[in-house]
Structure 1
């Protein structure tokens, strides 16, 4: 019996040339997660018409799996994504981690505050934090726009769409 030597550099090169398989694996994981969660929704939960609450998540989960399989098939047959042209972007520049961390902080602040102070206030923190993280430095205009967007979003979802959002201390005012 002859032993086969595996060259780790060759294996890494094979995967490096087919890195899109990683995207396919993420799509499979998301598709399975969506389908499992969709199938756990009770059938009598909030059904108001012929299409139940499982329909859209099942379609989305199945779509994710189909796209994952098609992408993997294309990659294994030699297909490759087009390299970024970098129109006005310096592809050699490092990632802007400060912006990413500020956006994550604004999102986490929203998640932590929404139950305590309600959506209108936590949403304003999220909108203003995102504007600040992305470079806007208008310290009077940005909070006013953030508050307006947050209240408008709250009223749209809560009053027009019938999706209750936590109002917090402003529930009586709005």
Structure 2
């Protein structure tokens, strides 16, 4: 039996938050390294997926919603991969590209269905130009019916109060996907999406 899902084709959603690229390396382990007591993984395949706020955008697009995504990236290969993957899924990406930061990337090494290690490539974004993010929000607010702030405590929502004010000024409801300290700025009338 196939589930019946609502029609989201008329729904535009703007996601603002911490975008990242999730990378997975898969392979068997058959021995312990002679250099240290760790397993040796023979990498046989890999996968790259949108993560963080980019994953939220991907899921909304998969439901048929018109999806706009604003986030912070570096000017690097992970940013290019993320943009290509999201664009292929019909997510409209409007990233603020920052030359002094890497795009947040999480690399997981997997073997026999288990994660052996995760390597994080990131520097927390700080002192980001508020106008750069807010101007990108402005480009999408008249096309959407909701704003989701997707917080992973990486710095993209450093100016969340101004973002909420901008959305409210446009008459667009704001939903919060909290992972970090953003809860301290939420008024009682805002919706929270617990994840």
Band of TM-score, shorter chain: under 0.3
Give TM-score scaled by structure 1 length. 0.22
Q: Larger Rg: 1 or 2?
A: 1
TM-score of the superposed pair, with normalisation by structure 2: 0.20
Query: Which structure shows the higher helix fraction?
Result: 1
Structure of higher RCO (CA pairs closer than 8 Å, 6+ residues apart): 2
Higher strand share: 2
